[in-house]
Amino acid sequence: MSLISDTLLQFLPAKRKQTPSGWLSFNAPCCGDKRSRGGFIQNAGDAVSYHCFNCQFKASWQPGRPISQKMNKLMRLLNIPDDVINQLRLEALRLNETSLGEVRSVIPTFDERALPMNAKSLEEWSTWIEMQGWENTDQELINAFCYLRNNRSIDPYSYPFYWTSKIGFKNRVIIPFYKDGVIVGWTARATNDATPRYLSEQQPGYVFNLDRQNLHDRAFVIVCEGPFDALSIDGCALLGAEIKDSQNWLLKQLNKEIILVPDKDHEGPKTVEQAIEFGWSVSMPEWPEGVKDVNDAVRLLGPLAVLHRIKSSAESNGLKIQLRAKQWFKDIK
């Protein structure tokens, strides 16, 4: 018997019957069934299958295969704790030599990367400005400070932001990406309406601001889309609207409740669906008129009020999240 089939058996509803053909039948957790129409069977070689004869939901696993999204969903329906599910996912990957490649693709590694040429932190630049005087300072450098303070309501010294006078980068604030204290990438945000808005050096599976999540004693981690959203409330950022398997894996390692705050835009609903599949909570607070993301909200309400709203609107039940999303995304154009 494998750890996976064993754990599933442990978490199946206690009230169950065994049929002569080997199926265990019980009230199906997928659809609120009350007529014992959920079936679970253990086949040769530790393979397991679940079949709901009411709503037709099916999930299965066999050694050598990773845990599918459907199996993951079943495990959550059976109230198997997230950390146990995570352990089972890794166990599934470990079980077969041929799946070693998949383990590697889920557990990301990051190489050190260089920042754009001559980049120095705003802290260093501020010393330089004091020595040279404001009148001898590049307007673009002053814009970097103003952009953070005025457009983002972010203290320029609250994070090691960088700036460089290199052509093509002068009108940008550089945000280094750290992992275990090492710079593994960066994004450079235009401080004017230059395009692209972001120039980035980013490695696959990276989660922004992960290093700082163990510094505060929050029992949860807030995950947003963009770096300024994350910095506004000291959360993490996906740096896009899609949740990668490796990002899910990295965030799960924190052993905290993961709360996604989607951007209120066209890509938001897809991110929410993914979050549900990964077993995350999702928060879609009542934002003031015109607010599209966490940074917008912080500029209007301040970080404490925003944190409070995010926490009190966080929902972990997939069905309730879907209902809320329908309403929340209704008025986007």
Contacting residues toward Zn ion, per CB under 5 A: 28, 30-31, 52, 54-55, 57
Measured over the CA atoms of residue 153, residue 156, residue 159 and residue 162, the dihedral's sign is positive
Question: d(Cα 235, Cα 229) in Å, to the nearest integer?
Answer: 8
Is residue 259 within 8 A of residue 283, CB to CB? The reply is yes
Beta carbon of residue 244, minimum distance to Zn ion (angstroms, whole number): 30
Question: d(Cα 241, Cα 270) in Å, to the nearest integer?
Answer: 8
Of 36 and 202, nearer to Zn ion (C-beta) is 36
| Per-residue buried b or exposed e for 200-239, using 16+ beta carbons within 10 Å of the residue's own CB | ebbeebbbbbbebbeeeebebbbbbbbbbbbbbbbbbbbb
In this structure, what token pair is assigned to residue 114?
Answer: 């260089």
In this structure, what token pair is assigned to residue 262?
Answer: 């989607």
Beta carbon of residue 56, minimum distance to Zn ion (angstroms, whole number): 7
Question: d(Cα 49, Cα 4) in Å, to the nearest integer?
Answer: 12
Of 30 and 67, nearer to Zn ion (C-beta) is 30
Of 52 and 106, nearer to Zn ion (C-beta) is 52
Beta carbon of residue 30, minimum distance to Zn ion (angstroms, whole number): 3
DSSP 214: G
Q: How far is CA 233 from CA 29, 226, 298, 311, 325, in A?
A: 37, 12, 8, 12, 22
Of 26 and 57, nearer to Zn ion (C-beta) is 57
Question: d(Cα 61, Cα 89) in Å, to the nearest integer?
Answer: 11
Of 29 and 226, nearer to Zn ion (C-beta) is 29
269 contacts: CB under 8 Å, gap ≥ 6:
262, 325, 329
Of 52 and 122, nearer to Zn ion (C-beta) is 52
Beta carbon of residue 79, minimum distance to Zn ion (angstroms, whole number): 16
Of 55 and 100, nearer to Zn ion (C-beta) is 55
Beta carbon of residue 272, minimum distance to Zn ion (angstroms, whole number): 22
The values of phi and psi at residue 24, to 5°, are: -95, 130
Beta carbon of residue 6, minimum distance to Zn ion (angstroms, whole number): 23
Beta carbon of residue 49, minimum distance to Zn ion (angstroms, whole number): 14
Q: How far is CA 180 from CA 174, 210, 236, 250, 327, in A?
A: 19, 9, 14, 12, 39
Of 77 and 141, nearer to Zn ion (C-beta) is 77
Beta carbon of residue 57, minimum distance to Zn ion (angstroms, whole number): 5
